[in-house]
Structure 1
Amino acid sequence: MQRSTFVRLTAIALAAAALSGAATAQQVINLTVASSHPTTIPWVGFIKDVFMPEVDKRLAAGGKYKIQWKEAFGGQLYKANATLTSVEQGITDIGWVFSYLEPAKMPLSQLSAHTPFTTSDPRIVLGAMTEMIEKNPAFKAEWDKYNIVFLGATGSDTYDIWTKNPVKSVDDLKGRKLSAPGILGVWLRGVGATPVDGALTTYYTDIQTGVSEGVVSLATGILPAKVYEVAPYITKVNMGVVFSGGVAINKDSWAKLPPEVQQAMREAGAEYTRRHGEDLLQRHQTAMNRMVELGKTQNPPVTVTPMSEADRRKWIDNMPNLAGEWVKNNEARGVQARALLTQYMAAVKARGAKPERDWEK
């Protein structure tokens, strides 16, 4: 064999060995990612379409680690009432935690639900709540105590009302049974409606069976859940955006991850939060328009009616002091809640919010 041929073959063999060694050195990490809601719900879909690919992209660049994802979205492992405990107990490694269905366990996380009519921009609320969780020890501890690590924030577009029958004025809501998720039922105290606890996965059946007469909800969730089919009268109230929870990982699973993987997940969580907020802002009106289009041939057709500013003002003014109640209840637990309320309101105002009620007073 000629020397040049020998050298060339040797080089090829060494390169192949190097590639084989690199592939062998890449550690595969098995993780389960799950949710109670289907991926058609925007913030769940973004776990699959944004969070997971962003983690993969960062790990691929490093070359040392690869995640083998086992997906269990859409309630395959647990339902909406078990999102916190399922991540806490390691039923899933990573999952969406629906914090405002957990008012007893996560009272601080209900802060935005106690300050309605603050802003209709989800980016503002997601940014402010992420800041609170990452930088305020009390907020961080509320996630840590349940054996979970917060990675990215989820929220809503602005809230409106879907009903079986028309709402001609705010007084029409008095005595009506309206489904609402968890703590958001307190918003109905300003109009005398009766809250019925529920979630996007139950609203359609609740209305269909007469458990409730409508819902307090958000366009981006109602559209894929098709609730407009049984509650075609949309009253635009623009009650504002709330923080609804976040993508989180079981702390025991987290502790087993190499620092490089943890960092990739932190960065992917931040990207998830940013893109989720932007998407909600753009998607809201699109969802409204789509419901009208899809519902134009049903009987009755889907209609959208803005609530008058006078009725909105009446609703806002007739609400009890929800923020004051949040402060009182948490201070009874030994938390300096008034300072937290002040910090939160300052954070949303710094991001451009102009609250329609001064909840600090």
Structure 2
Amino acid sequence: MKLKTLGAALLLGTMPVAGVAETYNVTVAAGHPPVFRWVRMISEQFIPTVQAQLEGSGHTINFSEQYGGAIAGVGEELEAVEAGLAEIGTCQALFDPAKLAVQNVTYYTPFVSDDVRQVATTINQMHETNPDMTRAYAENGVVYIGAPIGIDDYLLMTNFPVDSLDDLDGRKIAAPGAAINWLSGTGAVGVSGNLTTYYNEIKTGVYDGVIVFASAALPGKLYEVAPYITKFGLGAQYAGSLCANEAWYDGLPDEVKAALDAGADAAMTWYHDDLENFVGIALTKMAEAGATVTEATPEMRAQWAEGMDNAAKTWAEQLDAQGRPASSILSAYMDAMRAAGATPLRDWDKE
């Protein structure tokens, strides 16, 4: 792991004294560059809100924003925060599944909901009320702050038309992390990939398409190499949140903790407002650029969902055996989404 700044000893030597007016120097880390919305929310909403909340309190924070791998790469943020190399960071569950295993519950439950705000809100509420969700943070020396990173409804983008699931047979389709499981039963060959390589690898024939979301597909110009966009409603997802170093956070006065909470809440609202506004624009612009956007029929969606392995059950049972209560998290998430009005194509927790 590449970690390029001072060690935890420096952090421990600068612990604040509760009740005394302080100026805090706080480093915020993200592996992704600031072009990504979940990094932009820190600069554009989280930090300004925290500073506004602290006005008149006697406390101030000087933020040092370290993005794009300056301190930690994608998936290394939690370790950087745990070590005290940054006080706050984007703890990316999707890219750190070993440490934040149960946080990946949405990626094992496709076809639940395309409502990204509801998915993010549900996961945020579970963190606030379910100790089984926050246990993973405590075990790794960090504290959940909030600002959940929701990912808009995943699409299938290919360099060939998809009129039926039979068209996927033998095709190489890239997907991130656990989303490879979504391809089971389709006949497609799942390939692990990520946003940084999708364009070139489709262009050079490494694979024939990707499972991706519209808000990333447009800026990544994926429509140029995979112009057939099929909306299957694979589902909105949760990828990560802001977290803080536990020792540092525990030493903060209540006013500063409250300011961080307010900043996270404001960032969550800003992020999902901006994301929801952009998704429709992204699909329209890709169509205007020559992409063919189609909606999968209910029959195609049902066929895909019914043919999938229940990876959620396997995932949960494996984690349960390790003492991590994934089955209860799976049930809690599915129950909460159904209560919020979602109509999953499969009840992954009940099979």
Bin of the TM-score, shorter chain as denominator length = 0.7 to 0.9
Write the letter of the residue equivalent to 1:42: R
Q: How big is the shift at 1:30?
A: 1.2
Q: 1:37 aligns with which of 32, 52, 55?
A: 32
Q: Does structure 1 conserve the Cα–Cα contact (< 8 Å) formed by 2:32 and 2:67?
A: yes
**Counterparts of 2:154 and 2:204, CA distance in 1:** 23
CA contact (8 A) 2:76 2:96 kept: no
CA drift of 1:256 comes to: 4.1
Distance in 2 of aligned mates of 1:79 and 1:196: 22
- Output one character per residue of 1:311-337: Cα deviation in whole Å (capped at 9) or x when no partner: 111101001112222321122123444
Aligned to 1:12: none
Residues 163 and 232 of structure 1 are in contact (CA less than 8 Å); yes or no, is this contact kept in structure 2?
Answer: yes
1:253-268 map, 5 Å: 253-268=248-263
What is aligned with 2:139? 145
Do residues 95 (structure 1) and 84 (structure 2) align?
no
What is the CA distance between 1:261 and its match in structure 2?
1.1
Amino acid at match of 1:205: N
Distance in 2 of aligned mates of 1:202 and 1:262? 39
Q: 1:166 aligns with which of 158, 161, 169?
A: 161
**CA distance in 2: counterparts of 1:112 and 1:199, whole angstroms:** 18
User: Retained in 2: the 8 A contact 1:119–1:355?
Assistant: yes
User: Cα–Cα, structure 1 residues 81 and 213, in superposed 2: closer, same or farther, change >3 Å?
Assistant: farther
Task: Output the CA distance in 1 between the equivalents of 2:125 and 2:307.
Answer: 31
For structure 1, which segment, 273-282 or 65-74, has the greater mean C-alpha deviation from structure 2 after superposition? Answer: 273-282
C-alpha separation in 1, matches of 2:167 and 2:73: 33
Question: Is contact 1:151–1:270 with CA below 8 Å preserved after alignment?
Answer: no
Corresponding position: 1:66 with 2:55: no
**Which residue number in structure 2 is paired with residue 328 of structure 1?**
317
Matches of 2:195 and 2:173, distance apart in 1: 13
Say if 1:50 and 1:190 are closer, same or farther in 2 by CA, change over 3 A. farther
Are residues 167 and 78 of structure 1, via their aligned partners in 2, closer, same or farther at CA, if it must alter by over 3 Å? farther
Structure 1 counterpart of 2:299: 310
The alignment status of 1:85 with 2:75, answered yes or no, reads no
- Cα distance per residue 1:231-272 (max 9 Å; x no partner): 222111111111111111222332343321111101211222
SS in 2 for 1:192: coil
TM-score (structure 2 length as normaliser): 0.87
**2:84 and 2:193 mapped to 1: Cα distance?**
25
Deviation of 1:288 (Å): 1.0
| SS in structure 2 at match of 1:106 | coil
Structure 2 counterpart of 1:19: none
Q: 1:190 to 1:105 in 2, by over 3 A?
A: farther
Conservation of the 8 A alpha-carbon contact between 2:214 and 2:279: yes
Q: Distance in 2 between matches of 1:81 and 1:340?
A: 22
Matched with 2:98 is 104
The verdict on how the C-alpha distance between 1:115 and 1:263 changes in structure 2, with shifts beyond 3 A counting, is same
The equivalent residue for 2:107 is 113
Instruction: Tell me if structure 2 keeps the 8 A contact 1:92–1:250.
Output: yes
1:54 is displaced (CA, Å) by 1.2
* Letter aligned with residue 316 of structure 2: V
CA change 1:26–1:247 in 2 (3 A) is same
Q: Which whole-Å deviations, capped at 9, do the CAs of 1:198-229 have from their partners, x for residues lacking one?
A: 32233223333443322111111222233323
Cα separation, partners in 2 of 1:302 and 1:77, compared to 1, 3 Å = farther
Unpaired stretches in structure 1, ≥5 consecutive residues:
1-24
- Correspondence 1:173-322 to 2 at 5 A: 173-293=168-288, 296=289, 301-322=290-311
Report % sequence identity.
37
**Higher relative helix content:** 1
Kindly report which structure 2 residues correspond to 1:42-53, keeping only aligned pairs within 5 A, or say none: 42-53=37-48
Q: CA deviation at 1:45?
A: 1.4
On the 8 A contact 1:316/1:357 being kept in 2, the answer is yes
Correspondence 1:123 to 2:132: no
1:346 aligns with one of 311, 335, 342: 335
Shift of 1:26: 6.4
Post-superposition offset of 1:124: 1.4
Separation in 2, partners of 1:75, 1:207? 25
Distance in 2 separating the partners of 1:52 and 1:325:
40
**TM-score relative to the length of structure 1:** 0.84
Question: Given the superposition, is the C-alpha separation of residues 106 and 192 from structure 1 closer, same or farther in structure 2, using an over 3 Å criterion?
Answer: farther
Residues in 1 aligned to 2:273 and 2:159: alpha-carbon distance in whole angstroms:
31
Count of matched residue pairs:
330
CA contact (8 A) 1:99 1:109 kept: yes
Q: How far 1:63 sits from its partner (Å)?
A: 3.8
- For 1:212 and 1:256, locate their aligned partners in 2 and report how far apart those are by CA, in whole Å: 50
Cα distance, 1:270–1:190 mapped onto 2, change above 3 Å: farther
Deviation digits for residues 86-139 of structure 1 (CA, Å, limit 9, x no counterpart): 332233322212211222322211111111111111121112111222221221
With over 3 angstroms needed to count, the CA separation of the structure-2 counterparts of 1:339 and 1:168, relative to structure 1, is same
The verdict on how the C-alpha distance between 1:252 and 1:213 changes in structure 2, with shifts beyond 3 A counting, is farther
**Contact between 1:160 and 1:239, CA under 8 Å: does it hold in 2?**
yes
Residues 1:165 and 1:77: Cα distance change in structure 2 (over 3 Å):
farther
- Structure of greater Rg: 1
